[in-house]
Amino acid sequence: MRLPLAIFLMVLIISACRKEEIITRNSSAKLSFSSDTILFDTVFTSIGSTTRRLKVYNPNKNAIRISSIKLSGGASSPYQININGQATNQLNDLEISGKDSINIFIKVSINPGSAMLPFIVSDSLLFSTNGNHQVVQLAAYGQNANFLDAQTISQNSTWDDSLPYVIYNSALVEKDITLNITKGARIYFHKDSKLFIAGTLKVKGSVGDSVTFSSDRTEQIYRDEPGQWGGLHFLKSSKSNSIEFTSIKNALTGIRVDSLSENNEPKLILANSILKNMEVSGLMLYNADIKAFNNLIYNCGQYLIYAVLGGNYDFKQNTLAGLNFNFPRQSPAVYFSDNYQTESSSQSAELKIELVNNIVWGSLDNELQIDKKNTLPLNIRLQNNLIKSNNASFTENGNLLNTDPQFEDPRKENYHLKVLSPAINKGISLTGDPYFHSYLFQDLSAISRTFPSEQGCYEIK
């Protein structure tokens, strides 16, 4: 009986010792952090606060006691910290076991008041341990904005670059109303929101100060994430729209147009713009009327251009790059059809296509497909394009098939041409085109275009 009792007592003593972990008092014992600076990107006041996580490590063998963790700005700081479920601006005497860690959640709420310009809101998180003082910097880029929540724009309006616009639950430009958007304007969309245009949209950026349409999630992790918002949707009653020097990115579909023009002007002129990172397509067109000049469209999940149910399409000097480093795409980058089929029905309409001096390139064997499924007239001008295709008939009229255009660095989104590109001096003269003096006289970078031009949206400097 004595031996088992002695063993039991020893186990109790050892267990008690293990529970009481040694806390180091060594002044050389320090903490380590997942980052020495916590950066919050643009924070919009009405959206609410934004939270980041900081991981605090104790790399030492023994436990360590943090005398205090506090915000330098104290109670007046725009930041708050949450440690072990406790929201505070200071916490004292916190222990971390040896080789263990804790999470600190940092929240920021910014009220820029009447400030009209971007500004940086800074603070710091201070750690005191064994006489050591360590600092983690906090920085937020905050800015006020104009907020629209399920709003109808019912009078002629102009949006400029003084404040960004943030759209919740979509917005509508009413029939017979014009919304002008000027250079430098930034239009941000909350999740799944769209801009519907029943009236007229006029977007006019400049070569050095484009207009931006994108998601309201501006953190680095969302920079190239597709499908964050719905896109621009031009309805049947919409008319005389134009988009120039504009960046549209990270939507489900960049631009959708549902019908032909109801006047003598194109339904939409898209010029000198960049569309990228769409989950489905850059352009989705249903029997639409669109003219597109000097645009760069790339990295879309299914199509760069999806045009069905006929329509009237004029595309000149565009670079359409379906290399798709981020999408396992199986459909051709550019698709036209005079027919639209559903499970229960099929509709057809006349299809007119004019493709001149474009680059249509990508990772698949066939990146341009034109489907004729009905007896209605098919009017196609396909001239002096560089095309990746298995359709031998595309070789006519100066088109160049299956020859790498030699982009500078498409993985870094650089679609300029190398000096030995086969697309150089292969473009037919467009000086007689009715839109030459408005759009085609220069390229996407505002370099004067001389003929024979380069194919695509960029001239060689």
pTM of the model: 0.80
Mean pLDDT of 127-132: 94
At residue 17 the predicted structure's pLDDT band, cuts being 50, 70 and 90, is very low
Rounded distance between C-alpha atoms, residue 313 and residue 335, angstroms: 12
pLDDT tens column, 206-225: 999 999 999 988 777 788 89
- Band of residue 115 on the pLDDT scale cut at 50, 70, 90: low
227: confidence class by pLDDT, cuts 50, 70, 90: very high
264 shares a domain with 162 = yes
Tens digits of per-residue pLDDT, 46-80?
A: 665 678 999 999 999 999 999 999 999 998 888 99
CA 99: distance to chain centroid?
40
Region label for 338, one of left (φ > 0), alpha (ψ between -120 and 50) or beta (otherwise): alpha
d(CA 383, CA 377): 19
Q: How many domains does the chain have?
A: 2
| Residue 227 is assigned to a structural domain of this protein | yes
Q: What is the pLDDT of residue 63?
A: 94
Lowest mean pLDDT among 106-110, 148-152, 187-191, 205-209: 106-110
Rg (CA), the chain: 30
Query: Which domain CATH number covers 284?
Result: 2.160.20
Q: Is there a single domain that holds both residue 255 and residue 154?
A: yes
Q: 439: buried, middle or exposed (CB in 10 Å: 19+, 13-18, 0-12)?
A: buried
17, part of any domain: no
Residue 218: give the domain boundaries. Answer: 144-440
Do 321 and 365 lie in one domain? The reply is yes
In a domain, 115, yes or no: yes
356 contacts 383 by C-beta, under 8 angstroms: yes
Average per-residue pLDDT for the chain:
90
- pLDDT for the residue 2: 57
Q: Specify the higher pLDDT residue, 193 or 45.
A: 193
Predicted pLDDT of residue 101 = 94
Residues 100 and 149 in one domain: no
Q: Which of 107, 142, 177 is the last residue of a domain?
A: 142
pLDDT digits (tens, 9 = 90+) for 356-375: 999 999 999 999 999 988 87
Q: Are residues 239 and 354 in the same domain?
A: yes
* Residues 134 and 272 grouped into a single domain: no
Residue 430 has pLDDT above 60, yes or no: yes
Mean pLDDT value across residues 434-458: 97
Q: 171-191 pLDDT, tens per residue?
A: 999 999 999 999 999 999 988
Residue 233 lies inside a defined structural domain of this protein: yes
Structure confidence by residue, pLDDT tens digits, 230-242: 999 999 999 999 9
Final residue before a domain boundary, out of 113, 142, 171: 142
Nearest by Cα to 254 from 235, 237, 277: 277
Residue 330 has pLDDT above 50, yes or no: yes
